[in-house]
Amino acid sequence: MNIDKKTLILKAAAKRFARHGVNKTTLYEIARDLRIGKATLYHYFNSKLDIYHEVLEWEKSLYIKDIKAILDNNETSLVERFIEYFNFKEALDEKYKLLYDTILLLLIENNQEFEMKFLKSIMEGEEKTIKLILTKIYNKGKTVMEPALPMFLVLQSWGLLFEKKLYSISLSETSNKLNTIKMLYKTLEKILG
């Protein structure tokens, strides 16, 4: 199996799915974007749905690597790392549009079994990454880490992501959003500082 060709297919499919959606994307269009025959796609994948699922898994792995890189940065304080993590999460719709759209769709209609399992695996991956970082920090001190803290931080980051969307459609002033973020950062300093 040629990993490079498969990765090229995943990248092309990710762009097409993010731009046009899964339902409006055809295998012919993905093949055309790569200047390959449709049969080549079937060499690596069984169906468009198979490609879609693999694209999501591929993007999830890149996304978790990005989070790990942010949280592993020992050159900044723990609070600064989590602020960067939250800022990264707020821009998810720009860097990982397909992940964002898939999760947003789940919030609207939660009847897609694969996507629900996928979202759960993303959250578990984030929780595991955060738990590793916090365990290192807490093991250096005498304080015991609250077991729910990693998932609390994951949920707060998702809340910030969708809060951005909610503020954009609400009549509230943006200063309210800034106050909410400041409150979260102060809470982070108290919890992690």
Enumerate residues 6+ apart whose C-beta is below 8 A from 75.
none
Tell me the pLDDT tens digit for each residue of 98-146: 988 888 877 777 667 888 888 889 999 999 999 998 888 877 766 778 8
Task: Report angle CA 54, 155, 61 to the nearest 5 degrees.
Answer: 25
Reply yes or no on whether the pLDDT at 175 is more than 70.
no
Question: What's the predicted TM-score (pTM) here?
Answer: 0.78
User: How many whole angstroms separate alpha carbon 40 and alpha carbon 171?
Assistant: 50
**Cβ contacts of 138 within 8 Å, gap of 6 or more:** 144, 145
Are the beta carbons of 153 and 86 closer than 8 angstroms? Answer: no
Which residues touch 141 (CB under 8 Å, ≥6 apart)? none
CB 190 within 8 A of CB 79: no
